[in-house]
Amino acid sequence: MHRIRVGIVGYGNLGKGAAQAVDAAPDMQLKAIFSRRDPDKLRDTGEIDRNVAILSIEAADKMAGDIDVMLLCGGSATDLPEQGPYFAKLFNTVDSYDNHAKIPEYMAVVDAVAKKTTAIISTGWDPGLFSMMRVLFESSLPNGKSYTFWGEGVSQGHSDAIRRIKGVKLAAQYTIPIEKAVTAVRSGQKPIFTAREKHKRDCFVVCEPDADKAKIAETITNMPHYFAEFDTKVTFIDEEEFAKKHSKMPHGGMVLRSGSTSDNKQHMEFSLKLESNPEFTGSLMVAYARAASRLSKEGLYGAKTVFDVPLSYLSVTDRDTLIKELL
């Protein structure tokens, strides 16, 4: 079997998760890791301890014939807007671009260069699996209302926002769905919620010595968009406790649809409970790498989304076996 040759761009938490997922895929092989950082240093320091080519991003064009799909594991704020079109011009790509408001714009830029390549954007779980459920649920049950809850889990964006406050050394912010709201949706009431009624926020913060804790707590709870619209709890802890209890990246959430046909209530629900958000996202990107490779072989070029990919394209198992065993 010709194994799909995979490259990974960016070796942070997501890149590491993706690399593990490639290892676990019998139909793939990891060919190279690309980084903005100095490849020699990454190897010498042992930060990348795999027996795989480590290359600078600028060297990517030399690998055009050697890699079937490139997994873009950078962030959505600054990495992907640049790396998405750069790589999609040369390679089939999969990314997890997650700035919901800017997806159409990002997609257009990637699509414009993906003339002979397939670029699947915004995979992962939200956007990604949750988006798929929203479309599937709405199509299955047109008369209804959909809800998305996130958590319980660590939000990187909110943790970052806390870390930017003067005097804060470490921070982890947990987004927590409010059980009463979930119960109300399940009962079929189709409630309309404020932000505060759906989620609460729990923050664990380690301060620099002599920091003004009262002021930090006030700055957090009053921060507009991030915290002011939610019930937010701030707990100050020491570094040791932080390392022990808050260094993992759990997450999850659920998509629910409460609807009806004639006078009958119908309810659909999808949920995730993840101990490692980046490892799960990396695993999903690998499933979509399989799809990107196949779509590209079929000449279906351009920017694609999770809405465009038949489910059988994600599986390592052939279609006949899927139909026999899982249909």
Q: Which is nearer to a copy of itself, 169 or 319 (CB)?
A: 319
Rule CB under 8 A: which of 49-78 touch a copy of itself?
Answer: none
Q: Which is nearer to a copy of itself, 63 or 129 (CB)?
A: 129
User: Which residues make Cβ contacts (< 8 Å) with residue 201, sequence separation at least 6?
Assistant: 158, 173, 174, 175, 176, 227, 230, 231, 232, 233
In the list 17, 74, 151, 302, the residue contacting a copy of itself (rule: CB under 8 A) is 17
Q: Does 301 bind a copy of itself (CB under 8 A)?
A: no
> How many residues line the site for a copy of itself (CB under 8 A)?
67
Rule CB under 8 A: which of 186-225 touch a copy of itself?
Answer: 186
Q: How far is the CB of 119 from a copy of itself (least distance, A)?
A: 14
- Output the 3-class SS for the chain: CCCEEEEEECCCHHHHHHHHHHHCCCCEEEEEEEECCCHHHHHHCCCCCCCCEEEEHHHHHHHCCCCCEEEECCCCCCHHHHHHHHHHCCCEEEECCCCHHHHHHHHHHHHHHCCCCEEECCCCECCEHHHHHHHHHHHHCCCEEEEEEECCEECHHHHHHHHCCCCEEEEEEEEEECHHHHHHHHCCCCCCCCHHHHEEEEEEEEECCCCCHHHHHHHHHCCCCCCCCCEEEEEECCHHHHHHHCCCCCEEEEEEEEEEECCEEEEEEEEEEECCHHHHHHHHHHHHHHHHHHHHHCCCCEEECCCCCCHHHHCCCCHHHHHHHCC
Q: Does 229 bind a copy of itself (CB under 8 A)?
A: no
Q: Which is nearer to a copy of itself, 211 or 268 (CB)?
A: 268
In the list 36, 166, 273, 297, the residue contacting a copy of itself (rule: CB under 8 A) is 273
| N-term to C-term CA, the chain | 25
In the list 287, 292, 296, 302, the residue contacting a copy of itself (rule: CB under 8 A) is 287
In the list 280, 289, 292, 294, the residue contacting a copy of itself (rule: CB under 8 A) is 280
Q: Which stretch binds a copy of itself (CB under 8 A): 71-79, 149-157, 165-173, 266-274?
A: 266-274
In the list 15, 85, 282, 302, the residue contacting a copy of itself (rule: CB under 8 A) is 282
Rule CB under 8 A: which of 101-140 touch a copy of itself?
Answer: 103-104, 107, 122, 127, 129, 131-132, 134-136, 138-140
Rule CB under 8 A: which of 132-191 touch a copy of itself?
Answer: 132, 134-136, 138-143, 186
Q: Does 315 bind a copy of itself (CB under 8 A)?
A: yes
Site residues, a copy of itself (CB under 8 A): 17, 20-21, 24-25, 100, 103-104, 107, 122, 127, 129, 131-132, 134-136, 138-143, 186, 248, 252, 261-262, 264-276, 279-280, 282-284, 287, 290, 305-312, 314-317, 319-320, 322-324, 326-327
